[in-house]
A = this chain, B = another copy of it.
Amino acid sequence: MEKFSISTTTRNELIDITRRVQSAVKDSGVKDGVCTVYCPHTTGAITINESADPSVASDIERKLKKMVPKNENYSHAEGNSDSHIKSSLVGNTVQVILDNGSLQLGTWQGIFFCEFDGPRTRNVWVKIS
């Protein structure tokens, strides 16, 4: 398993980690298979979406905030139930096909770490199978 860490700077944020994942794939030495990108945190997520125009990521982040407000009638006492709920809606892992050492992404696709309870230092795990 390869690992890397990132620093988030605000409570809700989508960060493009495509280059970091590609670099982790290179470090693994594996050339073909399926690459699992995994978030080991319960208030973050991983998604694949458009990386060309940053307004797409900010629209996703803002809409999730609207659908799942920070303050609602939650029972979890730590004040971050919204973060946990968003993590399960988006999902904490994605799979990308690997061909000859290269991540096979669509033309407009990038891999994003979704921060829902930052700012924090976060870890991303990568495994090729």
Contact = CB atoms under 8 A, between A and B. Distances in A.
Contact of A59 (B85, B104, B105, B109): B85
Contacts of A49: 42, 84, 87-88
29 contacts: A1-B99, A33-B127, A33-B129, A34-B36, A38-B104, A40-B104, A40-B105, A40-B109, A48-B88, A49-B88, A53-B76, A53-B77, A55-B74, A56-B81, A58-B75, A59-B84, A59-B85, A60-B84, A60-B85, A60-B88, A63-B81, A64-B85, A88-B90, A92-B94, A93-B94, A93-B95, A97-B125, A106-B123, A129-B129
Contact of A97 (B34, B41, B55, B127): B127
A33 to B, nearest CB: 5
Nearest to A106: B40
